[in-house]
Homo-oligomer: A and B are copies of this chain.
Amino acid sequence: MSVTSLNTSRRLLGNSIRNISANVGKGGQYYGVFCSVRCVSTSAVMDNRVLTLDNMNPYVKKMEYAVRGPLVIRATALEKELQAGAQKPFKEVTKANIGDAHAMGQKPITFLRQVVSVCLFPQLFADSNIPEDAKARARLVLDGCKGGSLGSYSDSAGIEIIRHHVADYITRRDGGIKSSWEDIVLCAGASEGIKGLLQVMTNHTDGQRIGVMVPIPQYPLYSATLAEFDLEQVSYYLDESANWALDVEELERSIAEAKTRCSPRALVVINPGNPTGQVLSRPNIEAIIKFAQRHHLFLIADEVYQHNVYADGCAFHSFKKVMSEMGAPYANMELASYMSISKGFMGECGLRGGYAELVNVDPAVKAMFLKMISAKLCPTTLGQAVVECVVNPPVAGDPSYESFEAEKGEVLRSLAQRAKLVAETFNTVPGMSCNVVQGAMYAFPQISMPPKALEAAAAAGQKPDVFYAFQLLENTGICVVPGSGFGQRPGTHHFRTTILPQPDQLATMLQKFRVFHEEFLKKYS
């Protein structure tokens, strides 16, 4: 390359970066990571692209998903630096940003992995080390697959026998309130199912914008998907002073305010809560259902943590059950409830499985939903097979029963201990307060930021909680997600951490956290 052409390239490169910076908007934080030297030097040549930041889908530009945002990208880069021998104030990165149990050392449930292995490699039917009930279950799944292979497409709504078993599970869970298998739609993780439903709710051509009520703090799948499909986010604040309960007065405030700018159509409730870890009481759920009925809202119950209830006196009550027991008109309300294999005691995030129960949904709308997902063909059959094992576990007398119960019990007991440890520890740190982690997999403590820290954040061009989280990461290797990624009351600062590091690692993490926080307060006091 001649000097002249090199200079030209540099100039083009400069322009190109300026253009990008000008246009990238809120998503700009993602840019740097992918724009390697190779890309940029190419972009000097590519000054005439068809698809650009300027003309692409504006809703995709707008969406944000903090759980995999810039902090996580930086944490991954730090891991690589450590591997390459860089000296840091820490030896390893602790990714407490995402509910990813196996990544944090949780072991898979043996029965479940046996079943899916036999499904995939039927020669294992002859393996005497694999118990008969696992083989029988694999046989049942394969009998439900076309050609007897997990390699064939299933129906778009899932393998029929598994849909039956999901309905049976729900019926048992809800004390006999009937679930119909035709209301069950299997999906590749709850996220896929929730996104699909929100997509169906969108109506760009109506004059009025469609609103969806979501809690603040919320799991950012919701804000991301609302942005993606151009739905209006209608935020209601959870009551931090009442262990993140839903306050009906706040719901009323929120919807009244929203009605001036959109037509609210659905109410999202996450129970047990993510990122907030609360488990809703039955009276609270009843009040929420009455509110939704009063305002003609479709209920979206994100119940993926239904197995993750730890605190004494707390129990999981499904929206389906409460609504049904309340009788008409509540029993006839439209509800979509979601479950996942990624959480609970199994933590099979990577295998992608989950289901929706679509209760009282207009059959014609359901048909359209099924038509829409048919173009994606089907959710992974392997994930479906895991759903089968979760909703239909070994029962007393089955060869795998005791080991299954022991493994499941051990995971849930340990999570309960860690939930307690995390909240109790944070509450002993000056300037931090944390609600009881009644369920799910997260704590969402509040941190008080000294004025000088706020100034330092402003000087760094970061939100205070983002500044705090980056400082934490760079100094300790602990990766959490800033509260602003989930939403929080203005002027308050939080972060979300999972409770998933294994007990020893968690104790170390919490100790590092305490030291960091005390030094942070000292530095900025």
A residues sitting closer than 8 Å to B (CB atoms) are 20, 23-24, 27, 30-31, 33-36, 38-40, 42-43, 45-46, 48-53, 55-58, 60-61, 63-65, 68, 76, 95, 98, 100-106, 108, 113-114, 116-117, 120-121, 123-124, 127, 129, 145-147, 149-156, 180, 182, 188-189, 191-192, 195, 199-206, 220-221, 224-225, 228, 230, 265-266, 296-298, 332, 334, 346-352, 360-372, 374-383
Known: A30-B371, A51-B361, A368-B60. A153 touches B379 (CB 8 A): no
Smallest distance from the beta carbon of A333 to chain B beta carbons, Å?
8
Known: A51-B362, A65-B374. A120 touches B113 (CB 8 A): yes
A203 pairs with B58, CB closer than 8 A: yes
- In addition to A39-B182, A56-B203, A149-B350, 19 A-B residue pairs with Cβ atoms within 8 Å of each other are A35-B363, A35-B364, A45-B332, A46-B360, A49-B360, A49-B361, A52-B365, A57-B203, A57-B204, A58-B204, A102-B147, A103-B152, A113-B120, A113-B121, A117-B120, A151-B350, A191-B375, A191-B376, A382-B382
Cβ of A192: which chain B residues have Cβ within 8 Å of it?
376
- Cα A298 to Cα B49 in complex, Å, equals 9
Smallest distance from the beta carbon of A201 to chain B beta carbons, Å?
6
Cross-interface CB contact of A364 among B53, B146, B204, cutoff 8 Å: B53
- Cα A46 to Cα B147 in complex, Å, equals 40
Cβ of A116: which chain B residues have Cβ within 8 Å of it?
120-121
Cβ of A30: which chain B residues have Cβ within 8 Å of it?
367-368, 370-371
Cβ of A123: which chain B residues have Cβ within 8 Å of it?
129
Cross-interface CB contact of A370 among B34, B199, B372, cutoff 8 Å: B34
Cross-interface CB contact of A51 among B65, B221, B365, cutoff 8 Å: B365
Known: A24-B364, A50-B266. A102 touches B57 (CB 8 A): no
- Cα A113 to Cα B265 in complex, Å, equals 46
- Cα A515 to Cα B296 in complex, Å, equals 57
Smallest distance from the beta carbon of A268 to chain B beta carbons, Å?
14
Cβ of A151: which chain B residues have Cβ within 8 Å of it?
101-102, 108, 346-351
- Cα A151 to Cα B110 in complex, Å, equals 12
B113 pairs with A351, CB closer than 8 A: no
Smallest distance from the beta carbon of A463 to chain B beta carbons, Å?
18
**Interface pairs A-B: 4 shortest CB-CB:** A103-B146, A350-B381, A102-B151, A103-B152
- Cα A20 to Cα B368 in complex, Å, equals 12
Cβ of A24: which chain B residues have Cβ within 8 Å of it?
364
Chain B's closest residue to A49 (CB) is: B362
B201 pairs with A56, CB closer than 8 A: yes
Cβ of A204: which chain B residues have Cβ within 8 Å of it?
57-58, 204, 230
Cross-interface CB contact of A379 among B53, B230, B352, cutoff 8 Å: B352
Chain B's closest residue to A196 (CB) is: B60
A31 pairs with B199, CB closer than 8 A: no
- Cα A365 to Cα B192 in complex, Å, equals 22
Chain B's closest residue to A210 (CB) is: B55
B381 pairs with A334, CB closer than 8 A: no
A350 pairs with B51, CB closer than 8 A: no
Cβ of A361: which chain B residues have Cβ within 8 Å of it?
49, 51
